[in-house]
Amino acid sequence: MNTFNKILLNLFSKTLKKNSKFKDLHKGESCYIFGNGSSLKYYDLKLFNEKASIGCGALFAHKDFRYLNLKYYYVAHPLFFYKFWKNPYSKRYEKNKVGEFYRKKMKLFPNIQYFTSLSNYFGIKGKNINYLYHFGQSDPLKINNQMDNVFTMMDGSLKGMIGTALYMGYTDITLVGCDYTFSPKMQGHFYERGPEKRNEGPAFIGKTLNLIKDKVTIRTLTPNEEFKGDTLQSMTYKELVGDNTHYKDNNNILSEADQKELDSLRMDYKIF
């Protein structure tokens, strides 16, 4: 750790220590971790409320989001909650409409605990806003999940959500909508139009998943038997809920207002 990060860690140590309240809070319990993959178009989210969930991305735009027993939400994009930002697609500095969309949705669900990057400390605050940071130690081959100190698991939302689950003591994890963890992979997001594209290839965070599966029971959910877990064991939707999948396109699982707003964010989403 370089000198700057050491100073930063010292300055914000009290802020990070507040996360110690989550340590082993759910020791020995099971949970769902929700990504934003296209496979969510095949699932009835109302059938996933028997255990706690951790979510990310634009999951709260799904019409059935409110039926989930979602306790935690990971929004750790750096410098994400300021008025202006550098759009990762246009590469231009512009008004941060994406952060504003997230902020507005987060206010609708005040009972959820949100985890965000310490870089957003001056951009968003609240009783349910919690900060995490890697202090330059982020590494795909490290699974240091110390939310109250150096949290290395910050290179991607999936790894971040798994890291928070490990810190909170969950020992049985089912990944839902994490479409890069099975093969063939589904591309795209549940909020984008049309059927997904599929491609072969190794798991997106395969090396990390190998380390994690030695610590806890972790599996990925697939739409049917055509898909198999890549690195992880898998379970089909029917095996989990006892029913077949039913495909719904984005216009059936998002409100018209949310579709229009997502389309306006200049994030290269294919909404219409």
Global confidence as pTM:
0.95
pLDDT for 11 beyond 90: yes
Instruction: Report the alpha-carbon distance of residue 79 to residue 77 in Å, rounded.
Output: 7
pLDDT for 140 beyond 70: no
Q: Band of the pLDDT at 228, cuts 50, 70, 90? A: very high
Instruction: Report the alpha-carbon distance of residue 174 to residue 153 in Å, rounded.
Output: 18
Half-sphere exposure of 164 (CA within 13 A, CB side): 32
Q: Band of the pLDDT at 196, cuts 50, 70, 90? A: confident
Radius of gyration of the chain (CA): 18
For the purposes of burial, counting CB atoms within 10 Å of the CB of 103, is it exposed (0-12), middle (13-18) or buried (19 or more)?
middle
164: left (phi over 0), alpha (psi -120 to 50) or beta: alpha
Q: Band of the pLDDT at 107, cuts 50, 70, 90? A: very high
Instruction: Report the alpha-carbon distance of residue 85 to residue 91 in Å, rounded.
Output: 10
pLDDT of residue 15: 97
111: phi then psi, degrees, rounded to nearest 5: -85, -5
Instruction: Report the alpha-carbon distance of residue 221 to residue 227 in Å, rounded.
Output: 9
More confident: 12 or 144: 12
Q: Please report the domains of the chain, with CATH numbers, ordered by start residue.
A: 3-263 (3.90.1480)
Q: What is the mean pLDDT of residues 172-190?
A: 95
Identify which of 181, 185, 124, 173 has the alpha carbon closest to the alpha carbon of residue 145: 173
Q: Report whether 190 contacts 205 (CB < 8 A).
A: no
What tokens does 222 get? 């697939």
Q: Could you tell me which residues come within 8 angstroms of residue 57 by beta carbon, excluding any fewer than 6 positions away?
A: 35, 36, 157, 189
What tokens does 134 get? 């890697």
pLDDT for 150 beyond 90: yes
Half-sphere exposure of 35 (CA within 13 A, CB side): 27
For the purposes of burial, counting CB atoms within 10 Å of the CB of 109, is it exposed (0-12), middle (13-18) or buried (19 or more)?
middle
DSSP H/E element including 34: strand 30-34
